[in-house]
Amino acid sequence: MSRLLTRSTENRRAERDYENLLVVDDVRLAFGGVTAIDGVSFHVDDGELYAIIGPNGAGKTSIFNCLNQVYHPDEGDIRWKGKTVLGLKPNQTAELGMARTFQNIALFPHMNVVENILTGRHIRMDQTWWQGALWLGKGRRDEFENREVVEDIIDFLEIERWRKQPVGMLPYGIQKRVELGRALAMDPDLLLLDEPVAGMNLEETEDMARFILDIRDELGIAIILVEHDMGLVMDIADRVMVVDFGRKISEGVPEVVQNDPEVIKAYLGET
């Protein structure tokens, strides 16, 4: 991968001057009389693959929306590299190093793969509007450097054959890879993946799982994964948190969580 795309795992840890990459401390969020998040706390470290699971409506996506400040918690704190992010805007959390994918694909269907991934580089571009418009000097160099990053991502995700095709014409599984590529283009320290294999067949799911593991192991990027595919979660996650009705009911390594009576009760209605 290009030096422009990411720092190595060793360099990320060498730069570290904080205890945990992300700390969520007793976060609460309500909409009117409905409690979406009820005192949830957890932390994620550098290079960790942390999964959040729970039944539909348990509050998983609301947690994501609080992390990148789409929602502002009513109580509690969220600290990124030791500093609170409360009160920031989503674009500011992105600049800090949080990138996100969504349950529903949010690409530009008439733009090709290269152009869609390139949109993820906008927060890393260092040029004025007129430099970009004239495409001279710094603006031209910036364009070449960012396109180099995009091409590295395309190679990494094995989507070279589709690079010039409009994404709206691509198979669903490839579109999900393009969305992942756009998030990687933001050069994050943490990826928030919201149901990355939803709607995929077995082969597409296995491919996505492989790319997620490569992102963690080769690029050293931490990941928070929200997913309903329990087989995938238990196979690849380092730690798992289970939420139900906005509360954390279990947390730990997959082997412990999947045998927790509270987790079995939440999913099956009985122990």
3 falls within a domain: no
CA dist., res. 70 & res. 100, Å (int): 12
Decide: helix, strand or coil at residue 223. strand
164 falls within a domain: yes
Token pair 């994050």 in the structure block, residue: 188
CA dist., res. 93 & res. 84, Å (int): 11
Asked if residues 163 and 177 have their Cβ atoms less than 8 Å apart, the reply is: no
248 falls within a domain: yes
Residue 205 burial (CB count, 10 A): 19
Residue 146: per-residue pLDDT: 87
pTM value is: 0.88
Does residue 75 have a pLDDT over 60?
A: yes
Token pair 């430099």 in the structure block, residue: 131
Decide: helix, strand or coil at residue 68. coil
CA distances from 154 to 128, 151, 232, 245 (A): 27, 5, 24, 39
Q: Give the tokens for residue 145.
A: 């450097």
Q: What is the DSSP string of 107-145?
A: --TTSBHHHHHHGGGGGG----HHHHHHT-THHHHHHHH
- Give the distance between the most distant pair of CA atoms in the chain: 67
Residue 176: per-residue pLDDT: 96
Could you give the percent of the chain with pLDDT greater than 70? Answer: 88
4 falls within a domain: no
212 falls within a domain: yes
Q: For residue 114, what is the domain's CATH number?
A: 3.40.50.300
pLDDT tens by residue, 147-199: 899 999 999 999 999 999 999 999 999 999 999 999 999 999 999 999 999 99
Decide: helix, strand or coil at residue 147. helix
Helix orientation angle between 202-217 and 172-184, rounded to the nearest 10 degrees: 10
Could you give the percent of the chain with pLDDT greater than 90? Answer: 73
Residue 4: per-residue pLDDT: 43
The amino acid sitting at 182 is R
Does residue 14 have a pLDDT over 70?
A: no
Residue 255: per-residue pLDDT: 93
Higher pLDDT: 126 or 58? It is: 58
CA dist., res. 103 & res. 106, Å (int): 9
2 falls within a domain: no
Residue 161: per-residue pLDDT: 96
pLDDT tens by residue, 96-151: 999 999 888 889 999 999 999 999 988 877 766 556 565 666 666 777 888 899 99
The amino acid sitting at 80 is W
Asked if residues 79 and 86 have their Cβ atoms less than 8 Å apart, the reply is: no
Q: Give the tokens for residue 67.
A: 């992390």
105 falls within a domain: yes
Token pair 């990687």 in the structure block, residue: 184
Q: Which residues form the domain of 224?
A: 9-268
CA dist., res. 144 & res. 150, Å (int): 10
80 falls within a domain: yes
Asked if residues 66 and 78 have their Cβ atoms less than 8 Å apart, the reply is: yes
Domain count of the chain? 1
Q: What is the DSSP string of 165-208?
A: SBGGGS-HHHHHHHHHHHHHTT--SEEEEESTTTT--HHHHHHH
